[in-house]
């Protein structure tokens, strides 16, 4: 039998919502579906997908395909604005849907299990991704046009299907186009160039960097194909508005040693940009502007030249373009392109301005937390008003360009859904009796931010305090670790979980991800997963352990940190993390009695240094903005944690200073 792989959550979204906005499962603090009941029970958030599934299945029959797999991304491995228009079933980046003639199945990880049960009608089965046997069933029995499937996953599916006599087939058409009427047009936004004060390297300098890597590669590529949207945006110091919350524009780039082809919607390129890109000349630093849809034609034309070889990063190259690069000796593959790995290491200017953006971002988050402290006891605010408030606070900061993702504002049981976002219909009222988790971020002309804080305005239970303290211990354990340059994040990821593991607790999401400079809030390939690249100086990553008790509460403590040189007694070329998120933790939730004397002393000293950093970095910004009340709030919440041992250390420290002053 033949199986076709379609990686476009837009289709899944369209099938689920039927071409209208749907209330999302993750927005609901209510009941789940019960398909075994007679009649089956569906919560108000479930959507009838019968007609959409019927139309999709009918379009599969003439092509003789048995199954369609629908993941979460488009041809550039991102979720497009069309997907946002139609909504996504779980509004997340993970999840694989499989549709056959008699089944519709969703695989997703633990972050979305509850959401799925609240969103889907009984046409769908939920399979819990990550269980070995289920994964094997998925690969053997269900496998979706390769136009938008990246190379590595396509190969994995093909390999696993072959022993079962299944064939993964490429088809020329996107079946979503056959059933999706009224699809919104591309927005009229034009790409823009970054101002000179936020860049250190001009685009010709970056071209030189990549060409040097092409030249030095022992396998002798002659060009590199860039498919990920942030690759082209980074290379040319351009930004756009085609993807929700991400400053990208639809594009491809083919870069050789003496030519540059940029595939874009040419009608959106202004005369100013044409001059900026040297589009009217024909030497090695002139950008030839070509229509976005012509990338296949021009790639094929380039491959007709003698002695050419195209370098592709398989993680972000879709299968359709990959298949064009034949015969195989004209293709050079690596997991990531040289642009992605080069972009991952921030230059001095990028590091400086990204830190500056986090200072202003801290002001906005502190404004939110101070406002909530006053408003929640009055019983007037809910999850959505809190999300809107922090978005408004960020919008008032210098260089603001909007949120970097949809704010996760979650109280009580909703916070147990790791990627919940509220709506007008479902926003839960905030209460002093519940824990509250807010995961939010901003896009600024000089940086991208992402921070999570969990707070309680009343009296937390002993278990809530223990869970919070252990999550904080995991955050601190990673942020303080010293490691050789070139260490992979996966080799230290368990440090974020160890304090939880000691008492049989865990969390079901990753421990961290890269973050960009006015780019994606999840920037590959930095982080703590097995397929992330080794850490080097100048990489920014989130550190975000958590814990989630179903139908009760959720905890996540997320900071952004940059890798910096570590001072060691003997070793050279060692790194550690410098935290650039600058918002205090909720001291009410920290139970120091859980810590050993050594851990208490260590935690006290680390928090003392961190809080002094907040005061020295954010304090002047609050004063500059004349935010007296917020300044007082910051000073109160960054007061030292004075356990007995640490109090003595501080007293001794100041006594030494006093004696030195007298003796001098």
- pTM comes to 0.83
Interatomic CA distance for residues 289 and 262, integer angstroms: 5
Pairing of strands 559-565, 574-579: antiparallel
Task: Judge contact between 435 and 414, C-beta under 8 A.
Answer: no
DSSP lists the bridge partners of residue 167 as 2
Residue with the bigger pLDDT between 380 and 131: it is 380
Per residue in 171-229, pLDDT (tens digit) is 666 676 677 666 667 777 899 999 999 999 999 999 999 999 999 999 999 999 999 99
* pLDDT exceeds cutoff 70 at 500: yes
Task: Judge contact between 314 and 333, C-beta under 8 A.
Answer: yes
* pLDDT exceeds cutoff 50 at 8: no
DSSP string, 10-42: HHHHHHHHSSS----GGG--S---BTTSSSPB-
Side-chain-side CA neighbours of 207 within 13 Å: the count stands at: 21
Per residue in 600-655, pLDDT (tens digit) is 888 888 999 999 999 999 999 999 999 999 999 999 999 987 554 555 555 566 56
- CA neighbor of 548 nearest in space, from 397, 426, 435: 435
Q: What is the pLDDT, as a whole number, of residue 155?
A: 65
Per residue in 393-423, pLDDT (tens digit) is 999 999 999 999 999 999 999 999 877 888 8
* pLDDT exceeds cutoff 50 at 565: yes
Section 34-54 average pLDDT: 88
Interatomic CA distance for residues 135 and 658, integer angstroms: 65
Q: What is the pLDDT, as a whole number, of residue 68?
A: 79
The CA dihedral of 98, 100, 104, 108, to the nearest 10 degrees, is: -10
User: What is residue 220's DSSP assignment?
Assistant: -
* pLDDT exceeds cutoff 90 at 23: no
What is the pLDDT confidence band of residue 113, given thresholds at 50, 70 and 90?
confident
Cβ-Cβ contacts under 8 Å for 48 (sequence gap 6 or more):
18, 121
Interatomic CA distance for residues 159 and 167, integer angstroms: 9
Q: What is the pLDDT, as a whole number, of residue 96?
A: 75
What is the rounded average pLDDT for all residues in the chain?
Answer: 86
Per residue in 316-361, pLDDT (tens digit) is 888 889 999 999 999 999 999 999 999 999 999 999 999 999 999 9
């Amino acid at each position: 039998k033949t199986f076709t792989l379609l990686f476009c959550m837009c289709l899944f979204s369209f099938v689920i919502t039927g071409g209208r906005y749907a209330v999302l499962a993750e927005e609901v603090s209510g009941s789940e579906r019960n398909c075994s009941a007679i009649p089956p029970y569906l919560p108000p958030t479930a959507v009838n997908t019968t007609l959409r599934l019927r139309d999709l299945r009918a379009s599969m029959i003439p092509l003789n395909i048995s199954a369609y797999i629908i993941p979460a991304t488009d041809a550039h491995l991102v979720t497009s604005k069309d997907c946002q228009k139609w909504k996504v079933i779980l509004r997340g980046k993970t999840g694989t849907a499989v549709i056959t003639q008699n089944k519709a199945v969703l695989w997703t990880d633990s972050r979305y299990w509850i959401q799925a049960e609240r969103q889907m009608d009984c046409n769908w089965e939920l399979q819990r991704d990550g269980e070995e046997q289920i994964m094997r069933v998925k690969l053997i029995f269900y496998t979706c046009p390769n136009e938008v499937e990246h190379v590595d996953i396509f190969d994995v599916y093909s390999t696993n299907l072959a022993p079962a006599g299944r064939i993964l087939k490429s088809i020329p058409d996107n079946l979503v186009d056959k059933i999706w009427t009224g699809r919104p047009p591309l927005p009229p936004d034009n790409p823009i160039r970054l101002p000179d004060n936020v860049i250190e390297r001009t685009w010709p300098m970056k071209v030189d960097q990549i060409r040097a890597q092409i030249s030095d590669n022992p396998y002798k590529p002659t060009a590199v194909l860039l498919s990920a949207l942030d690759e082209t945006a980074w290379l040319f110091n351009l930004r756009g508005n085609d993807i929700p919350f991400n400053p990208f524009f639809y594009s491809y780039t083919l870069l050789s040693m003496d030519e540059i082809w940029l595939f874009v919607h040419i009608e959106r390129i202004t005369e100013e940009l044409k001059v900026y890109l040297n589009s009217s000349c024909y030497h090695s630093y002139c950008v030839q502007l070509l229509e976005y849809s012509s990338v296949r034609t021009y790639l094929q034309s380039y491959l007709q030249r003698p002695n050419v070889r195209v370098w592709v990063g398989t993680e972000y190259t879709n299968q359709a373009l990959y298949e064009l690069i034949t015969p195989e000796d004209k293709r050079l593959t690596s997991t990531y392109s040289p642009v992605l790995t080069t972009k991952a290491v921030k230059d001095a200017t990028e590091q400086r301005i990204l830190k500056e953006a986090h200072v202003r971002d801290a002001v906005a988050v502190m404004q939110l937390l101070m406002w909530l402290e006053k408003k929640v006891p009055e019983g007037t605010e809910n999850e959505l008003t809190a999300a809107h408030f922090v978005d408004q606070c960020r919008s008032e900061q210098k260089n603001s360009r909007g949120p970097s993702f949809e704010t996760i504002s979650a109280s009580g049981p909703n916070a147990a859904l790791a990627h919940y976002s509220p709506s007008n219909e479902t926003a839960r009222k905030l209460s002093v009796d519940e824990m509250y988790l807010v995961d939010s971020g901003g896009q600024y002309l000089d940086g991208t931010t992402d921070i999570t804080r969990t707070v309680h305005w009343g009296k937390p239970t002993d278990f809530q305090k223990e869970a919070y303290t252990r999550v904080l211990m995991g955050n601190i354990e990673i942020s303080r670790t010293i490691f050789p340059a070139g260490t992979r994040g996966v080799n230290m990821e368990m440090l974020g979980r160890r304090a939880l593991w000691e008492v049989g607790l865990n969390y079901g999401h990753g421990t961290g991800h890269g973050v960009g400079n006015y780019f994606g809030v999840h920037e590959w390939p930095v982080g703590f997963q097995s397929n992330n690249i080794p850490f080097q100086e100048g990489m920014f990553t989130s550190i975000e352990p958590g814990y989630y008790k179903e139908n009760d509460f959720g905890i996540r403590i997320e900071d952004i940190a940059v890798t910096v040189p570590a001072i060691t007694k003997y070793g050279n070329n060692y790194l550690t993390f410098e935290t650039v998120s600058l918002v205090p933790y909720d001291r009410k939730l920290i139970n120091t009695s859980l810590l050993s004397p050594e851990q208490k002393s260590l935690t006290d000293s680390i928090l003392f240094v961190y809080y002094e950093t907040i005061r020295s970095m954010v304090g002047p910004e609050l004063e500059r903005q004349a935010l007296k009340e917020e300044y007082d709030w910051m000073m109160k919440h960054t007061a030292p944690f004075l356990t007995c041992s640490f109090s003595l250390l501080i007293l001794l420290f100041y006594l030494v200073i006093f004696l030195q002053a007298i003796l001098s």
